[in-house]
């Protein structure tokens, strides 16, 4: 899939994550999290996996996390990417 416009998914609630995506020539992942110190590597890994599954190879991905579990990260990433394709 290809990120075609700016899009967003998720909320600022505890245990959720807000995902922002926008078109870019390279793939960049920026992570903000209230549990960054403990879990940044795991969050990044999960995002990379999900993007690979969705076959997203470029775009700016920003996540603002409040301790979301893996399935929530997956769902928000997928929703944001799909929204970006709706134009």
Partner 1 sequence: MSFEADVDDVLGIKDLHGRLVATGSRQGALLKMIAVDAEYQSSELFSELINALISCGYQAGIENFFVYTKPSQYHSFTALNFHLLCTSEHVALLEYGRGINRYLQQHAPLQRVGDNGGVVVNCNPFTLGHRYLIESAAAIVDWLYVFVVEENCSSFPFDVRFDLVKKGVAHLSNVSVLPTGPYAISQVTFPDYFLNNSTLAREQQVQIDIQLFGRYLAPAFSIKHRFVGFEPYCATTSAYNNALQGQLPQYEIELCQFARIESDQGAISASQVRQLLMQHSFDNLSQLVPETTLKFLTSSKFFKQVHLDPKFRRH
Q: Any contact of residue 29 with partner 1 (CB under 8 A)?
A: no
Q: Which of 2, 5, 24, 32 binds partner 1 (CB under 8 A)?
A: 32
Nearer to partner 1, 46 or 66 (CB): 66
Does the footprint of partner 1 cover residue 12 (CB under 8 A)?
A: yes
Spatial neighbors of 63 by CB under 8 A, at least 6 apart, are: 17, 18, 19, 20, 29, 30, 31, 32, 33, 43, 47, 73, 76, 77
Name the site residues for partner 1 (rule: CB under 8 A).
6, 8, 11-14, 20, 30, 32-34, 62, 64-66
């Amino acid at each position: 899939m290809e990120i075609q416009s700016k899009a967003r998914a998720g909320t600022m609630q505890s245990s959720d994550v807000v995902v922002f995506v926008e078109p870019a020539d390279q793939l960049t992942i920026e992570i903000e999290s209230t549990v960054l110190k403990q879990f940044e590597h795991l969050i990044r890994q999960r995002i990379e996996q999900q993007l690979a599954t969705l076959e997203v190879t470029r775009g700016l991905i920003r996540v603002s996390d409040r301790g979301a579990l893996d399935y929530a990260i997956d769902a928000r990433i997928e929703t944001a990417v799909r929204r970006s394709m709706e134009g």
